[in-house]
Amino acid sequence: MLHDVNRLLNRVPFVDDAVHWREEDYWATPAESIGSNGADCEDFSIAKYFLLKELGVPIARLRLTYVKSLRLNQAHMVLAYYARPDAEPLVLDNLEDTVRPASQRKDLVPVYSFNDEEVWVELRGRAGSPQQLRNWRALTQRLDWERRT
Amino acid sequence: MTVGRLLAAAISALFLFALVGVEAIILRSAQSHLQQQLESLAQDAATSLGLSLGVLLRGGDPALAETVINPAFDRGHYERIEYLAAGGERIVSRHLPAREGNYPAWFARAFRLHPPTAESFVSAGWQQAGRVRVTVHPRFAYEQLWGTARDTVILLVLIYAAALLVLQLVLRSVLRPLRAVERAAQAISARRFVTLRLRPRTRELARVVEAMNSLSLRVSEALDAEARRGERLQAAAYQDPVSGLPNTLGFTARFETRYEGEDEAFSGVLALVDLADLGGINREIGGERCDALVRTLLHEMDGAAVQAGGSAARWGGAVTLLALPQLRAGAAREALAALRARIQAMLVEAGLPGHARVYCGGAEAGGERPSLQALVRRAQDALRKAGDTPDGVVVLEAEVVADAAPDHRPRVVREALAERRLRLVGQSAYRMSDHRALHTEVLARLDDGAGQEMAAARFLPFIVSQGLAEELDRAVIGKVLREAPRGGERISVNVSARSMELPAFVAWLGQQLARDRALAARLAFEIPEHGVVRNVAAAADFAQAVSRAGAAFAIDHFGVHRDCLSLLQRLHPGYVKFAGAKVRRVITDAGAHYFAESLVRTARQLDIPVFAHHVEDEATFQAIASIGFSGYQGNLGGGPVPWPNG
């Protein structure tokens, strides 16, 4: 299933945000990416994340991961899949159609990871507040809007 | 409440509302901003700790993890920082117990901040290495919020104080014309007609000032017109149109006023001079020239009377009356003979030797109280006899000069006064409408030493002739001030015209009154009208001195002299007492009635009450009540009784 999702979404052509959305860094929803037929690394990872989430994969196993691509020598984002918390993750990357374990991706240096569960702030004495990553917040708002329409 | 206070109160209320509103807005906005800051602080701390732990914790060393967490935790912004392993067990946990911040507890309750907790994953390479959880301490945020609240309140209060100050300054300049207008209104209601000179910048006030000035002008013009009409009436009723001298009515009123009641009695000679052939003169030279001649002759006669301390009046037709108070019968006879000779000479000079028939008849006053009618009757007898005598002058001596020993009466009076054998009696003046006593006029009596009480009419002539008037006034006033009961009735005291003119007396009176201002406020000092007319300037000084001391100034025996109405406006007395002689005439004489009406009307416009003297019966009371007098005094209300009573 991971392979299919990876390969399926990797068919969307890579377009840089600055060209595609005329913004430095725009996190598109899956519908935006597929609909506009263009995405960059975050958009691929996000689309894969939500597709897997829709397909029933527990969120705790998925991590959107900031990595450095040694090959491209630039910041990059991939989706990591952990079968168990202590397991070696599988990496879903738009640069490669094949899903491989992290140990086989020496070209990637992981730096920081997050998912839906983690990006939150709890307020004592009050209901939890929305996510605090600006891009992620904007993204989830658009997703909500898309769901409603 | 003054306009200034009202505005200050309104502005304070507005400011209070604004202050509370602005403060609430500022604090709410600061509160929400701080809440966001706290949340972002929590998230940032969690993210950066997650990153640094991930980089450093490749081997999962708890000591190292604690070392990484400590510097962040020790900054003091965090209530709790925890590092949990992937399985959920706690590896590092730092906790800062809740401590009192530098702000009151109620403030923290009113503006509650919610301490946020944020989480971040820790990854060692691709390996999950747990999560870090950060809870922010709200203390600093509360302190900042509290500081903001204090600073803004202080700033707003300072602005409020400055606004009040500015308001006071502005109001003072805006209200200055208003105060002047207020003073002018008070002056006008007190019948002092002032003109405001200031020109306020505010248009409304400028209009008020204009209206005020025109009101002041109009009322004073109306009053002047009323006074002039009254004086014309007075002149028409009491004056001979040809010579300008008083006529019979005018003289009678003056005589009775001067010599009636408690005041001095007439002594001297009353004479009648008859131009026996006036009809012939009139026929010979015509009415116009005859009038001119009569005018000249009468003024000659008036001059002779004035020389003897008296006056002349046209008694009707050819007869002229001369009052010669300073002359005894013998001296009067000589004076009249000389006068007759002069008049005859003037007639001869006027080319009328055939008509130069002039006769003089006089009567010397004697006894206690000579009535004018009796004196005139005896003078007429003398005049008839004069026609039969060769020199044409007859003066009848007083019939009863043998009144015991008139010679030592002056001594008795002098001694009684020197020994202060003074008794006071009081006669009340009552209000017309309900007969309530308004004040009590205090009158003096002297004890003659033999147990007999002397009324003023018996001792006043000697007091005046021996120059004791001031001493008597001081004695009476001193006694009144000592014996006046505390509180209660208002008291009026007579002051002689002579004393009123003495600056030393006026100064003494001012000092006496200053000792007891409460009593002074209940006192009024009555000056007879003839004294006021004789020296209006002194009367004005006296009135000013008395009112400065808090007492009232009043005019007694009012309404006799020609220009008495102008005195009302000039001196503005506290009240006037209409002369008794004229009160009696109000019933019988339409002119006197009309004059009394005019007087009351003028006085009412000036807010001066008019009392009627010598109201002895119900008919007189009804007459003066219909005219609109304020009060009355006389036997109808009750005669003098010992004072103070009870």
> What's the confidence (pLDDT) of residue B430?
93
> What's the confidence (pLDDT) of residue B475?
92
Tell me if B579 is assigned to some domain. yes
Type and span of the H or E element at A90: strand A90-93
**Do B488 and B348 fall within a single domain?**
no
What is the extent of the structural domain holding B27?
Answer: 3-161
CB contact under 8 A, A121 and B121: no
Helices (H), B314-440: 329-349, 372-386, 409-418
Number of domains composing chain B: 3
Each residue of B164-212: pLDDT tens digit? 888 888 888 877 777 888 888 888 777 677 777 777 777 887 888 888 8
Q: Which of B504, B282, B114 is nearest to A126 (CA)?
A: B114
CB contact under 8 A, B118 and A121: yes
Q: Is the pLDDT assigned to residue B397 strictly greater than 80?
A: yes
CB B476 within 8 A of CB B493: yes
Each residue of B339-353: pLDDT tens digit? 999 999 999 988 888
B528 is written with which tokens?
């007879």
How far is residue B56's CA from residue B129's CA, in Å, rounded to a whole number?
Answer: 11
**Do B609 and B466 fall within a single domain?**
yes
> What's the confidence (pLDDT) of residue A130?
44
Domain A2-148 has CATH 3.10.620.30: yes
How far is residue B36's CA from residue B22's CA, in Å, rounded to a whole number?
Answer: 21
Please state the separation of Cα B478 from the chain's center in Å: 26
**Do B431 and B304 fall within a single domain?**
no
How far is residue B494's CA from residue B465's CA, in Å, rounded to a whole number?
Answer: 18
Q: Which of B645, B382, B321 is nearest to B491 (CA)?
A: B645
- For residue A119, name the pLDDT band (cuts at 50, 70, 90): low
Q: What is the mean pLDDT of residues B406-428?
A: 83
- Nearest Cβ partner of A121 from B51, B116, B123? B116
> What's the confidence (pLDDT) of residue A127?
45
Size of interface A-B (CB pairs under 8 A): 69
Return the higher-pLDDT residue of B262 and B483.
B483
| Sign of the four-CA dihedral B60, B62, B67, B72 | positive
Tell me if B427 is assigned to some domain. yes
User: Strand, helix or coil at B436?
Assistant: coil
Residue with tokens 């001694």: B415
> What's the confidence (pLDDT) of residue A129?
46
**Do B385 and B432 fall within a single domain?**
no
**Do B512 and B606 fall within a single domain?**
yes
Tell me if B32 is assigned to some domain. yes
For residue B86, the chain A residue with the least C-alpha distance is: A85
CB B267 within 8 A of CB B376: no
Torsion angle of alpha carbons B372, B378, B384, B389, nearest 10°?
-120
> What's the confidence (pLDDT) of residue A132?
53
How far is residue B283's CA from residue B461's CA, in Å, rounded to a whole number?
Answer: 46
Residues of A within an 8 Å Cβ radius of B: 63, 65, 80, 82, 85-86, 88-89, 102-103, 110-115, 118, 120-126, 129, 132-133
Quote the crossing angle between the two packed helices B564-571 and B203-238, to the nearest 10°. 150
CB B258 within 8 A of CB B324: no
Residue B99: C-alpha distances to residues B79, B116, B512 (Å): 10, 17, 79
Query: How near does any CA of chain B get to the CA of A125, in Å?
Result: 7
Torsion angle of alpha carbons B212, B213, B216, B219, nearest 10°?
-100
Q: Is the pLDDT assigned to residue B646 strictly greater than 60?
A: no
Counts of helices then strands in chain A (DSSP H, E): 5, 6
- For residue A122, name the pLDDT band (cuts at 50, 70, 90): low
CB contact under 8 A, B119 and A120: yes
Question: Residue B561 has what DSSP assignment?
Answer: S
Length of chain A: 149
Angle of CA points B101, B103, B108, to nearest 5°: 95
How far is residue B235's CA from residue A2's CA, in Å, rounded to a whole number?
Answer: 135
Q: Other C-beta atoms within 10 Å of B363: how many?
A: 28
Tell me if B190 is assigned to some domain. no
Each residue of B561-609: pLDDT tens digit? 877 888 888 889 999 999 888 888 888 888 788 888 888 988 888 889 9
**Do B452 and B343 fall within a single domain?**
no
**Do B20 and B145 fall within a single domain?**
yes
Q: Other C-beta atoms within 10 Å of B97: how many?
A: 5
Final residue of a domain: which of B143, B161, B179? Answer: B161
Tell me if B258 is assigned to some domain. yes
CATH number at residue B17: 3.30.110.200
Query: How near does any CA of chain A get to the CA of B127, in Å?
Result: 7
**Do B386 and B336 fall within a single domain?**
yes
**Do B390 and B488 fall within a single domain?**
no
Query: Most B CBs within 10 Å: which of A122, A134, A135, A137, as the mutation test of the B interface?
Result: A122
Query: Most B CBs within 10 Å: which of A90, A108, A113, as the mutation test of the B interface?
Result: A113
- For residue B402, name the pLDDT band (cuts at 50, 70, 90): very low
Tell me if B465 is assigned to some domain. yes
**Do B464 and B531 fall within a single domain?**
yes
| Per-position DSSP letters for chain A, written without gaps between them | -HHHHHHHHHTSPB--HHHHTSSSS----HHHHHHHT-B-HHHHHHHHHHHHHHTT--GGGEEEEEEEETTTTEEEEEEEE-SSTTSPPEEEETTEEEEEEGGG-TTEEEEEEE-TTTS-EEETTSPPBPP--HHHHHHHHHHHHHHH-
| Sign of the four-CA dihedral B123, B124, B127, B133 | negative
Least confident of A74-88, B68-82, B96-110, B403-417: B403-417
How far does chain B reach from its first CA to its final CA, in angstroms? 44
Tell me if B58 is assigned to some domain. yes
Residues of B within an 8 Å Cβ radius of A: 39-40, 42-43, 47, 50-51, 54, 86-87, 112, 114-121, 123, 125-128, 131, 135
CB contact under 8 A, B127 and A86: yes
| Sign of the four-CA dihedral B140, B145, B150, B152 | positive
Q: Which amino acid is at B79?
A: E
Q: Is the pLDDT assigned to residue B320 strictly greater than 60?
A: yes
Final residue of a domain: which of B361, B396, B431? Answer: B396
Query: How near does any CA of chain B get to the CA of A149, in Å?
Result: 30
How far is residue B1's CA from residue A129's CA, in Å, rounded to a whole number?
Answer: 57
CATH number at residue B448: 3.20.20.450
CATH number at residue B388: 3.30.70.270
**Do B390 and B469 fall within a single domain?**
no
B322 is written with which tokens?
């001369």
> What's the confidence (pLDDT) of residue A10?
84
- For residue B500, name the pLDDT band (cuts at 50, 70, 90): very high
- For residue B51, name the pLDDT band (cuts at 50, 70, 90): confident
Q: Other C-beta atoms within 10 Å of A90: how many?
A: 21
**Do B379 and B274 fall within a single domain?**
yes
Q: What is the mean pLDDT of residues B296-309?
A: 89
Final residue of a domain: which of B396, B429, B447? Answer: B396
Q: Is the pLDDT assigned to residue B354 strictly greater than 60?
A: yes
Going from N- to C-terminal start, the domains of chain A cover 2-148
